[in-house]
Amino acid sequence: MAHRVGIVGASGFTGAELLRLVAGHPDLELAFATGDSQAGTRAADLYPSLSAAYPDLVFASYEAGMADEVDVVFCGLPHGASQAIVPSLLSPDRLVVDLAADFRLKDPSLYPQWYGEAHTVPELLGDAVYGLPELFREELRTAKLVATPGCYVTTATLALAPLLAAGLVEPTGIVVDAASGVSGAGRPPKPTTTFCTVDEDFTAYGLLTHRHTPEIEQNLAHAAGAPAQVLFTPHLAPMNRGILATCYARPVGSTSTEALHDALHVAYDPEPFVVVVDGSPSTKATLGSQQVHVTARADERTGWVVAIAALDNLTKGASGGAVQAANVALGLDETAGLPVVGLYP
């Protein structure tokens, strides 16, 4: 019997991606989809790509009690909004998967610093399981509240974590330069994401203050078993989807490209969605799929290690990551409903 699914905040890009993935999932069945800003709008009118799967779906307004009869709730709300409803959604018989940052950070003191306001239910932070199966698969098997990783964070973490876990690079002094497609900014129009602004342009933003910084550090510290420090600079690229993260770290002693690749292969050859590549990862190769492509190099001339990863920010970086974590928590095939092959050209 399929698990009944509700999506709260389904009218945004991550919500639309969730609807796409649920439509092709053999074990999930959509029960409702809310979108307060688009309440009363047919999903097929807002996203014609969903017409065949959801010809009659109309976005509803969220109301308490809507989730009483569902097994899984995905929350695709803006950052900060999930805290208001997640406590009422939690149940021993229900899985809640939050796609925002509301339950990602374990230290509640980081929320005022990086998100501008105190966490309203800090007692739940310890109950939330971080939704990255490559690092937290065993914890996810018993999860009832899942915090889906940030898109930049997934990319940087998967590039660097095996190298830190193997003791090949230092956990401090790490630099992460990453570029994302415009869909990472969400569906509502903004002056910085209009076509005329983005087309033929490439810009850095969130200098020194991007909210994904403490989340990256939290993951890398977990991998290294020691405090981590990262200088993270995100960039906006003139493309719809995708993230490319180029990460720089100092080696511990001497290392080689072969040793770096060996560590990546040990970590990822058993993984269904991470591919270690010899060449340079590209966003186009992962487009529309759950794939992550990673590689690494040791530069003897400068003494730096370079680790690179590419993924689709809406699939593995958001909605696909949420579904993968839900599959694990529900005891399903981890790959169910998730595309393995990217779109090309």
Q: Do residues 215 and 283 both lie within one domain?
A: yes
Whether the CA torsion 275, 276, 278, 279 is positive or negative: it is positive
List the catalytic residues: 151
In this predicted structure, what is the pLDDT of residue 1? 83
Q: Are residues 174 and 281 in the same domain?
A: yes
- According to the model, what pLDDT value does residue 189 have? 85
Which one, of 60, 101, 64, 56, lies nearest residue 85 by Cα? 64
Instruction: Decide if 345 is inside a domain.
Output: no
Low-confidence ranges of the chain (pLDDT < 50): none
CATH number, domain of 295, equals: 3.30.360.10
Summarize pLDDT for 115-130 with one digit per residue, the tens: 999 999 999 999 999 9
30 contacts 19 by C-beta, under 8 angstroms: yes
CATH number assigned to the domain comprising residue 81: 3.40.50.720
For residues 270 and 141, state if they share a domain. Answer: no
75 occurs within a structural domain: yes
- Number of structural domains, the chain? 2
Q: Which of 132, 99, 130, 115 shows the shortest CA–CA distance to 309?
A: 132
Cβ count within 10 A of residue 247: 26
Answer yes or no: do 95 and 234 share one domain.
no
Same domain, 279 and 179: yes
Q: What pLDDT is recorded for position 160?
A: 99
Residue 196's domain comprises 152-313
Residues 243 and 97 in one domain: no
Q: Quick: pLDDT tens for 32-45.
A: 999 999 999 999 99
Check whether residue 125 and residue 175 sit in a common domain: no
